[in-house]
Chains A and B, each alone.
Chain A
Amino acid sequence: MTPLELIAGALIALGAVFFIAGTVGVLRFPDIFCRLHALTKADGLGLGLVALGVGLLAASPGAVVRIALVWFFVVVASATCSHLIARHALERARRERS
């Protein structure tokens, strides 16, 4: 194993830890907002670390660009989705109160 591979492996492993933490959060947190918090924070970071690790191993610069793009869109999408879910939950709570 080259040092590069070693670093990459470590990054991916760290990413995986964040994923697991996020998952535990989703399962354990009491309400939807806390769960969203756990999910987006942990997964955004986790995916970033994994992408970084994979990017180190990628063969061509083109692939690195593509991986970066994937990371970017996933983060944007997950942020938007979380926003929507939170909005929906808020609205529903408001509706139920009235």
Chain B
Amino acid sequence: MIDTMVIFDLLLAVAVVALAVASMTTRDMFAAIVLFVVFGLLSALAWVRLSAPDVALAEAAIGTGVTGALLLRTLHHVQTVERKAAPEPLPVPMGVQIANAAFCGLLTLGLAAAFAGAPRGGPGFDLLVADAMSISGVDHPVTAVLLNFRAYDTLMEVVVLLAAVIAVWQIERGLSDAPAPALGEVWQGFARLTLPAIVVVGTYLLWVGSSAPGGAFQGGAVLAAVGLLLLLSRLYVPRPSHRGAARVAFVLGTGAFAAVALLVTGGGRMPFEYPLEHAKTLILLIEGLVTISIAVTLAALFHGREPVALPERAAGTGGRDDA
């Protein structure tokens, strides 16, 4: 059996690398993005092979799914808003291509040599995590790391997400609210059919995270898909009056996470040091709120611009009430 697995691994590895190369070299951008999505899914598959189902889920949902949607949306924008004097991409001379490929190859060889020389298979944090699991409040190690041992990193990761949505709103401020393309009845029907299912799956992923692969990020990404469907099917249209609620939703996860981290110091503990008896509750609370924030934020990142009342108005006078 081992031999067949090795063949599988090799095939998968070659496919992953080939897809990466293809997505860089295909002339058509749409094809490149599609190739990239396939690349992401195969990478996720490889990560499952490496016994990392959580990461594979996250990569498939966020790294490939949401990212792919974002890329396609941008491609759509770039292709529909046509430029008259768009600069033609210069043809790349063969010599340059060969040089690039050679550089790429050398880099790979160098890094791979260093990689091959390094010890693999530990020791890492295995024992430390195993020792600490019993007082972490959850049963699933990855969740324990994310929300307890290295919760500070995770908090900052949510902060990055928050920074992104603020930056995106900032960048696209005052842009006219171009209507999403009409996708027809088939699509609407599909959206209605799948929406409840996705909500169930997302919530399930969140819930299962404390004991099995899954958690806030994967759940959030799946729930964000709900947002994407709603936006694309125009079942939900963001309005200026929703901005206040949106802002609250964006900061909800970060705020709750940080607040809990600080509030636990009340009992003479360190920040992030959850009292053991409430650890599970607190972690679930944080995860729940973070999931909501992630879902809303990812959907907002997809939507892009901040919903403003009258887009044609000058930036200064457009600052209407947010309530």
Contact = CB atoms under 8 A, between A and B. Distances in A.
B11 interface: no
A76 B193 contact: yes
A77 B194 contact: yes
A76 B186 contact: no
B184 A77 contact: no
A76 B183 CA distance: 16
Closest 10 CB pairs of A and B: A80-B190, A83-B186, A80-B186, A80-B187, A87-B184, A84-B183, A84-B187, A76-B190, A76-B193, A73-B197
Contacts of B193: 76
Nearest to B190: A80
Contacts of B187: 80, 83-84
Interface of A: 69, 73, 76-77, 80, 83-84, 87
Contacts of B186: 80, 83-84
A73 B194 CA distance: 8
Interface in B60-115: none
Interface string B184-218: 10110010011001000000000000000000000
A11 to B, nearest CB: 19
A83 B187 CA distance: 8
Nearest to B198: A73
A80 B184 CA distance: 10
Contacts of A77: 190, 194
A87 B187 CA distance: 11
Contacts of A76: 190, 193-194
20 contacts: A69-B197, A73-B194, A73-B197, A76-B190, A76-B193, A76-B194, A77-B190, A77-B194, A80-B186, A80-B187, A80-B190, A83-B184, A83-B186, A83-B187, A84-B183, A84-B184, A84-B186, A84-B187, A87-B183, A87-B184
A45 to B, nearest CB: 20
Contacts of A83: 184, 186-187
A78 to B, nearest CB: 11
Contacts of B197: 69, 73
B62 to A, nearest CB: 18
A76 B195 CA distance: 13
Q: Output the residue of B184, B190, B194 with the most chain A CB within 10 A.
A: B190
A83 B183 CA distance: 10
Contacts of A84: 183-184, 186-187
Contacts of B190: 76-77, 80
A92 B197 CA distance: 32
A32 to B, nearest CB: 11
B50 to A, nearest CB: 22
A82 B193 CA distance: 17
A36 B194 CA distance: 22
